[in-house]
Amino acid sequence: MFKFGTVAIIGRPNVGKSTLLNKILGEDLSIISSKPNTTRNSIKGIKTGEDYQIVFLDTPGIHNAKDKINQLMVKQAIDGLSMVDLVYFMVTPDEIFGKEYKFITEILNKVDATKFLLINKVDAHDKKDVVKVANKVFADGVFKFVLPISALESTNVDKLLELTVEHLPEGVKLYESEEITTIPEKFLISEFIRESVFNLLKDEVPYNVVVECEEVEDRSEELLYIAASIIVNRSSQKGIIIGKRGEMLKKIGKYSREKLEAFFGVKVYLELFVKVKEDWMNRDEYLKIQGLI
């Protein structure tokens, strides 16, 4: 008997959804930073075993969205629940039970899928806090299981996968066993570069950045050429991205290249440019680059 199903990973921003997906896949597919709302659209990751295949959706953090890009991010997260077999609802032991939490639980209770409550980051919190948040959240929804995990330390991740496979429907394999994502190559490259921007720059700049991968070419069997543009809202942000004597752009290039080489398994020649496109976050052409429309 072969099993196939889809799993949506949802929660507020910065609860560790992308870290969990990367740990399950054994690859850094979803970009990670300490800043909330790093993930802007649903990332599909594929996990294949001997008798199962799972398609995971790492969704953007659900939050009170005000501008167009954030509204589209939240819409993607919610839309991702409509046709899944399982939902992982991720919280942390210091979960904030505000409007966003209530909004998520109201949506969850309307979803016809098996729901797992995952309490992440248990390695960094007291057990009493874990039990307290488990009792609170479990009472607010209909969950099949509650499982304390640490995505970072791999605590109970194998157990989570085992329970997930157990509750998948029967089906057939849709993707080749070696495939780990359906994300287009250019989009994946853009995300790796954007991750470097998030991790190297201060809070105010990364949220105003989009990366467009303009060219990808195999120069040889061992060399991949990539040209990409980092797009910002204002000229002052361009100066921050480039840095004094170009040092920041060099750092972004170095971190991005190392990540790309590790993922693709070849040497990468990366050319980065910085462009100013005012108010890009409300312009459809740049929202399309992010896969939001």
Q: Does 178 map to a domain? A: no
Alpha helices in the chain (DSSP H): 17-25, 68-79, 99-108, 127-140, 157-166, 185-200, 235-242, 247-264, 284-289
Residue 27 pLDDT: 79
Residue 173 lies in a domain: no
Residue 180 lies in a domain: no
Q: Is the pLDDT of residue 289 over 60?
A: no
CATH number at residue 121: 3.40.50.300
Q: How many CB atoms lie within 10 A of CB 292?
A: 20
Structural domain that includes position 73 = 3-166
Contact criterion met (CB below 8 Å) for 147 and 118? yes
C-alpha 14/C-alpha 34 separation (Å) is 7
- What is residue 8's three-state secondary structure? strand
Tell whether 16 and 142 lie within a shared domain: yes
Total domains present in the chain: 2
- Judgement on whether residues 28 and 160 belong to the same structural domain of the protein: yes
Same domain, 215 and 276: yes
Q: What is the dihedral of CA 78, 82, 86, 91, to 10 degrees?
A: 10
Predicted local distance difference test score (pLDDT) of residue 28? 73
Give pLDDT, residue 183: 76
Which among 136, 166, 196 is the end of a domain? Answer: 166
Place of tokens 């001997």: 50
Tokens of 119: 């309490």
139 plus 15 within the same structural domain = yes
Asked whether residue 112 is domain-assigned, the answer is yes
Same domain, 211 and 276: yes
Q: Which of 14-18, 63-67, 164-168, 288-292 has the lowest mean pLDDT?
A: 63-67
Residues of the chain above pLDDT 70, percent:
80
pLDDT band at 33 (very low <50, low <70, confident <90, very high): very low
- Number of other CB atoms surrounding residue 88 within 10 Å: 26
pLDDT at residue 231 is higher than 50: yes
Do 19 and 124 lie in one domain? The reply is: yes
Q: Residue 37 — pLDDT band, cuts 50, 70, 90?
A: very low
196 has pLDDT over 50: yes
**Cα separation, 137 vs 116, whole angstroms:** 11
Supply the pLDDT for residue 75. Answer: 61
Same domain, 162 and 193: no
Average pLDDT score over the chain:
83
What pTM was estimated for this model as a whole? 0.68
| 281 and 199 inside one domain | yes
Same domain, yes or no, for 139 and 252? no
Would 179 be classed as within a structural domain? no
247 and 141 within one domain: no
pLDDT at 61 over 60: no
Q: Is 174 domain-assigned?
A: no
Residue 175 lies in a domain: no
**272 and 217 both lie in a single domain:** yes
Pick 286 or 255 by higher pLDDT. Answer: 255
Q: What is the spatial distance between Cα 149 and Cα 158, in angstroms, rounded to a whole number?
A: 10
Q: Is the pLDDT of residue 106 over 90?
A: no
**Lookup: tokens for 201:** 């720059």
Mean pLDDT computed over 86-101: 89
Residue 50 maps to a domain:
yes
* Mean pLDDT, rounded, for 70-94: 75
pLDDT at position 40, please? Answer: 46
Q: Number of helices (H) and strands (E) in the chain: give both, helices first.
A: 9, 9
**Where among 112, 136, 166 does a domain terminate?**
166
Return d(Cα 241, Cα 201) in angstroms, integer: 8
Q: Which pLDDT band holds residue 110 (cuts at 50, 70, 90)?
A: confident
252 touches 239 (CB < 8 A): no
Are 151 and 190 within one domain? no
- Final residue belonging to a domain, choices 108, 132, 166: 166
| pLDDT reported for residue 280 | 62
Return the closest-CA partner of residue 59 out of 131, 99, 8.
Answer: 8
The sign of the torsion formed by the CA atoms of 45, 70, 84, 87 equals positive
The more confidently predicted of residues 3 and 198 is 3
CATH no. for residue 230? 3.30.300.20
